[in-house]
Structure 1
Amino acid sequence: MRRLQYFIESQAFGVCTMLGEKLGIASSSIRFSFIYLSFLTFGSPVLIYLMLAFWMNVSKHLRRERSTIWDL
């Protein structure tokens, strides 16, 4: 069971962790609120989560592709 939890947490997009770091809130409380909101609103926060994950991936890719003057 512990191995499954580690796999899910390491392979997830990291949206809740990023939000927790930016807002100064524990990522576990953000995850729980996300789960509760998903049940109450029939899954609409999943779309927001996927959009944030996509945006994080794009911004990470753009930061990596930037070259500096020293890369010549």
Structure 2
Amino acid sequence: MINNIRYFFEKHGFKVSSRIGDRLGIKATRIRLFFIYLSFFTLGLAFPLYLTIAFFARIKDLIYTKRSSVFDL
């Protein structure tokens, strides 16, 4: 099953990895692994950044509340 999925992506992927590999002199499998690791790494960095921004947005909402009128003081 995994080989069928791999074959499908290799056949219909326009051989981007192999073109890059031919130009740089690297195997296409190494380039595919690099892209896989890069995608996991960037997702790993984006998630803590998202949580940090959400935390500070929540703190800002708790500190600065919008008042509807002057009499709400």
TM-score interval (norm. to shorter): 0.5 to 0.7
Structure 1, unaligned runs of 5 or more? 43-72
Counterparts of 1:24 and 1:13, CA distance in 2: 18
Q: What is the aligned length? A: 43
Q: CA deviation at 1:40?
A: 0.4
Coordinate RMSD, CA, aligned: 1.8
Give the TM-score taking structure 2 as reference length: 0.51
After TM superposition, where is structure 1 displaced by more than 4 Å over at least 4 residues in a row?
none
Relative contact order higher in (CA < 8 Å, ≥ 6 apart): 1
Structure (1 or 2) with the larger CA radius of gyration: 2
The residue aligned with 2:12 is 11
Percent pairwise identity:
45
Structure 2, unaligned runs of 5 or more? 44-73
